[in-house]
Amino acid sequence: MFNGLKRLRKDNTGYDLKQMFIGAEGTLGFVVEATMRLERQPTNLTAMILGTPDFDSIMPVLHAFQDKLDLTAFEFFSDKCLDKLLARGDIPAPFETRTPFYALLEFEATTEERAEQALATFEHCVNEGWVVDGVMSQSEQQLESLWKLREYISETISHFTPYKNDISVTVSKVPAFLADIDAIVSQSYPDFEVLWYGHIGDGNLHLNILKPESLSKEEFFDKCAAVNKWVFETVEKYNGSISAEHGVGMTKRDYLTYSRSEAEIAYMKAIKAAFDPNGIMNPGKVFAD
C-alpha cells in the first residue's frame, strides 16, 4: 500500500509510481482515493464545423487552426455519419452543402479578436481548397447543437449492430492509415458500410462497420473477426495502438502483441509481479497470467 496523494506540482525524488496505475485496469492494485486538480472554467467556448472535400484536407485544416488558436477539441466525422444523424429527424444539418468529411473544432473565444482570427483562418482554408463550407456557433445553445453532430453518432448507429474499433496512429500518418483500412474492407466486403469518426487531433479514430441487413449477427461477427486481424496488422504496420482509449481487458488481450513488443510485455509482467506478487489483482486482464 502506498499513498501518492501529496498534491505536489513538482517532485523529483525517484520513480513516479502513480503513473503505473494509470491505465493498469486494476492489474496492479486498487485505487481507493484520488486527488484532482481543478482548472479554470473555460470562457465563451465556440465551435466550428467545417466541410472538407476529402479526408486528406482535414489535416492542413487542423494545423492551420492549431497555429492560430489553442484548440480545446478537434474532431471529425464522415458524411455517412451525418446521413444517420439526419435520418433521426431531430438533429439539423450544420449547413446545406454536403461534403465527404466534416471537422468539428472548439476554442475559447475570449475576445472579439480571437473570433475574428478563427474566421480569418476559416477563409484561408477555403482559399486553399481545404474547406468547402462552414459554420461557427454564436451562442451556448448553438455550441451544444453543433456538438450533437459528433456526440450523438455512437448512440445513433448502435441500432445497426456496429463492429467497433478504437485505434490510434501518429497524427501525420492518419490519412494513409485510413485509406489502407478503407481499401482492405471494401475489397473483401464491398457490401459493408464503413463509418469513421473520432478525435482526429489526437490521431484517435473510431472505425465502425455496420451490419448489412442481409447478414445474421453471427455471420457478420464471423466476418468481422477476419477484418479485425487485417485492421490490427495495419495498426502494427503504422506503429499505432490497438486501443487508444478503451483499454485491453479480455477482448483485446490476445492482440496485445500488435501494439506492444515482447520486451515491453515482459517488463509489464515484471512490474505486475513487483506490485502484485500473488497475482490476485484483476487476473487475466491486459495479458494472460
Residues that bind a copy of itself (CB under 8 A): 1-4, 6-17, 19-20, 22-24, 40, 66-67, 70, 110-114, 168-171, 199, 201-204, 239-248, 252, 256, 259-261, 263-265, 267-268, 270-271, 273-275, 286-287
Q: Shortest Cβ distance from residue 205 to a copy of itself (Å)?
A: 10
**Cβ(57)–Cβ(131) under 8 Å?**
yes
CA distance 101 to 122: 16
166 three-class SS: strand
C-alpha cell at 20: 503505473
Residue among 98 and 173 whose Cβ is closer to a copy of itself: 173
What is the pairing mode between strands 71-78 and 133-136?
Answer: unpaired
The CB-of-263 to a copy of itself minimum distance in angstroms stands at 4
Q: Say how many Å lie between the first and final Cα of the chain, rounded.
A: 22
156/168 with CB nearer a copy of itself = 168
Task: Provide the grid cell at 62.
Answer: 487542423
Task: Tell me how far apart the alpha carbons of residues 247 and 2 are, in angstroms, rounded to a whole number.
Answer: 24
Which residues, in sequence order, are bridge partners of residue 74?
A: 105
User: Which helix (H) or strand (E) is 178 found in, with range?
Assistant: helix 174-188
- Least Å from the CB of residue 177 to a copy of itself: 12
Looking at the Cβ atoms of 160 and 287, the one nearer to a copy of itself is: 287
Which C-beta is closer to a copy of itself: that of 54 or that of 70?
70
- Provide the minimum distance between the beta carbon of 273 and a copy of itself in the complex, in angstroms, as a whole number: 7
Residue closer to a copy of itself, measured from CB, 19 or 158: 19
Phi, psi of 139 (to 5 degrees): -155, 170
Tell me the closest approach of the beta carbon of residue 139 to a copy of itself, in angstroms. 20
